[in-house]
A and B are shown apart, each in its own frame.
Chain A
């Protein structure tokens, strides 16, 4: 019996990370701002996207949406987007770069300005998988409670923006906005945080302005306000 030690010294998710880097390069070259939207199920990702796409109006945007099953979200979003691809992951609890690459097959990125990736509803696993996005946006609904961010620190820690959704429900809850902001800051002191409601339109303008500014940064333009 011969014993041998094989050195690897590599990232375990190296394959995903290399593919994500490739995707990020192709998004940047095409001038597409790619946003990875993550939240627990039911925080309002799809509803926010409907309103966002409507606000962006004539600006060409596409969506890749992940769920374990059904085409429901894709059907909801199709009227508002240049194109929508539903990824059904079966039992996989997150999207991986290879799934995004497959969903983009045959699509011309240069026709787009924005690509939204609606991740599988889950606050744990999506945090570990780079999809080649430019920005990671994490949503929390007011119904989830003020301390949700510190209960799921890794995803908040790597977020570029935190959105507090369904703000129209605040009058019916005992939701402490300051307590929520503190919870976010404890995990990620620098991340900006916007409060919005897809139903009343509160905060949507600020969110769309954030998107426009991020895209302007990407393509090296001065943002229009």
Chain B
């Protein structure tokens, strides 16, 4: 349940940016999360809902963009995106992680590195004022 810590970090980032603008209310928050971040969307949403009570982000909607796993061959630098990692909950993504290809589809070397998929980014926030 580290989603509560993440929700608090998110709230901190938002309130810090908006501290001098008391009239502003956050309506939507855009996040980018990869399968390696180990985040369950629904848990993050409910943690954020509670953490945001009484703040400028109370009631704000979380829009979560799920990023794929990306693996690259160390030898031939062939890059491969595991697209079916793009889904709502983490479980199918984790299954994808344990069934990574063991060899590069391009050159056959067993030297694949995961180079993308650990994203846990605050992209933007939509706010209203006036």
Contact = CB atoms under 8 A, between A and B. Distances in A.
A5 to B, nearest CB: 6
Contact of B120 (A92, A128, A158): A128
Contacts of B128: 1-4
A25 interface: no
B54 interface: no
Contacts of A94: 2, 5
Contact of A92 (B5, B100, B126): B5
Interface in B112-130: 112, 114, 120-130
A7 to B, nearest CB: 5
Contacts of A92: 5
Q: Which bucket holds chain B's interface residue count? A: 35 or more
A127 interface: yes
Interface stretch (A40-48, A149-157, A197-205, A217-225): A149-157
B123 to A, nearest CB: 6
Interface stretch (A9-17, A27-35, A66-74): A9-17
A93 interface: yes
B13 A153 contact: no
A15 B12 contact: yes
B10 interface: yes
Contacts of A15: 9, 12
Contacts of B92: none
Contact of A12 (B6, B38, B102, B127): B6
Contacts of A186: 98-100
Contacts of B38: 124-125, 127-128, 154
B121 A93 contact: no
B63 interface: no
A3 B24 CA distance: 10
A185 B40 CA distance: 24
Contacts of B1: 93, 125
Interface in B1-59: 1-2, 5-6, 9-10, 12-13, 17, 24, 27, 31, 36-39
Given A2-B128, A8-B124, A128-B37, A154 B94 contact: yes
3 closest A-B pairs by beta carbon, nearest first, are A125-B2, A154-B38, A2-B130
